[in-house]
Structure 1
Amino acid sequence: MSSARTEVQVRPGVESDLEALTDLYNHYVRETPITFDTAVFTPEERRPWLLSHPEDGPHRLMVAVESGPAGNSQRILGYATSSIFRAKPAYETSVEVTIYLAPDAGRRGVGSLLYEALFEALADEDLHRAYAGIALPNEASVRLHERFGFRHVGTYREVGRKFGRYWDVAWYEKEL
């Protein structure tokens, strides 16, 4: 029976993931205020984003995949990134982190697996802080970030407008 079970693995994102990652992100663009992007992307439009997250360095892309029976067919369950926090040189030791899960992948520990892999990959980088912005309300994201040692440092009130209303963004930080 165990051979029929699915297994979740986390690995660096690669170019062949681009279409699936774009589809996953576009779900959040279309359906939620989680991202403040308002127009969906084509894979080609997302390619610069993917290429800005190499397999080494402070800006990473980690992908959680679910392997079917006997390792067949991999489905992307989510991804986590560390990206430039701000473009000015003095911010180089800070990163902004984010995580997106497939709509049916919540409450399975996938987010924790992604952040564990991401922070392990970043451990030897010259980084001082990680920051995360969470569009509110989003209790699942708040719990995940707090579980990983992030603390709330402030909230931008009504900072983004999407779906005809304004949304707050809570900011969290973590020492690396």
Structure 2
Amino acid sequence: MVEFRSATVADATRCAEIYEPFVNNSWVSFELNAPDTAEMGVRIAKALHSHDWLVAEADEEVIGYAYGSEHRTRGAYQTSCDVAVYVDSDHKRQGVGRSLYEALLPRLKDRKMHAALAGIALPNKASIALHQAMRFELVGTYKEVGWKMGGWRDVAWFQRLL
């Protein structure tokens, strides 16, 4: 059975392990170097302070996580946030990502967030399907905005009003 809870800095190692293949083996993340445990701990602490960070656990092991973070630094954006979800490859297509978002989005609304935004590096049919199932709407695409893995990458932006 999968359980969901707020993350702690103690989850940083496992979250970094889950995230690493998205950085090193795909263009899903535009980071070029996977964060280590210390950096992931800083990110978790920051998200918990300002937005939220949840983990999914099965058999006492973290198998995925989702979080909200600052969208932009200008003051008028303070009620908008970026969201992301990452699931361990052994647990994909089991509803973990959707369940994480179902738990995260109401928490962000409780924190007075009005709009959740998700940038999806293309192509990524699975992520698009997840976000559409969660009632995110396509609001635009940045063309050739990032260079990764030997090619230019587009990013589609999806938004959901909370």
Which residue does 2:55 correspond to in 1? Answer: 63
Q: Are positions 1:45 and 2:31 aligned together? A: no
Name whichever structure is richer in helix by fraction. Answer: 2
Q: Once the 2 structures are TM-superposed, how far is the Cα of residue 44 of structure 1 from its aligned partner?
A: 1.3
- Contact 2:10-2:41 within 8 A present in 1 as well: no
Alignment of 1:93-172 (within 5 A): 93-172=79-158
**Partner amino acid for 2:100?**
L
Q: Once the 2 structures are TM-superposed, how far is the Cα of residue 120 of structure 1 from its aligned partner?
A: 2.3
- Partners of 1:47 and 1:121 in 2: CA distance: 20
- Partners of 1:129 and 1:63 in 2: CA distance: 21
- The superposition leaves residues 9-60 of structure 1 with CA deviations (integer Å, 9 ceiling, x where unpaired) of 1111111111001111112111110001111222112222111122x65x11
Runs of 4+ aligned residues of structure 1 deviating over 3 Å after TM superposition are: none
- Partners of 2:22 and 2:110 in 1: CA distance: 32
Query: Structure 2-normalised TM-score?
Result: 0.95
| Unaligned residue ranges in structure 2 (runs of 5+) | none
- The superposition leaves residues 46-103 of structure 1 with CA deviations (integer Å, 9 ceiling, x where unpaired) of 222111122x65x110101112xxxxxx111111111000011110010000111111
Which residue does 1:27 correspond to in 2? Answer: 21
User: After alignment, is 37-46 or 85-94 more displaced?
Assistant: 37-46
- Partners of 1:130 and 1:14 in 2: CA distance: 22
- Partners of 2:40 and 2:98 in 1: CA distance: 25
Which residue does 1:80 correspond to in 2? Answer: 66
| Unaligned residue ranges in structure 1 (runs of 5+) | 1-6, 68-73
Q: Would you say how many aligned residue pairs link Structure 1 and Structure 2? A: 162
- Partners of 1:90 and 1:123 in 2: CA distance: 17
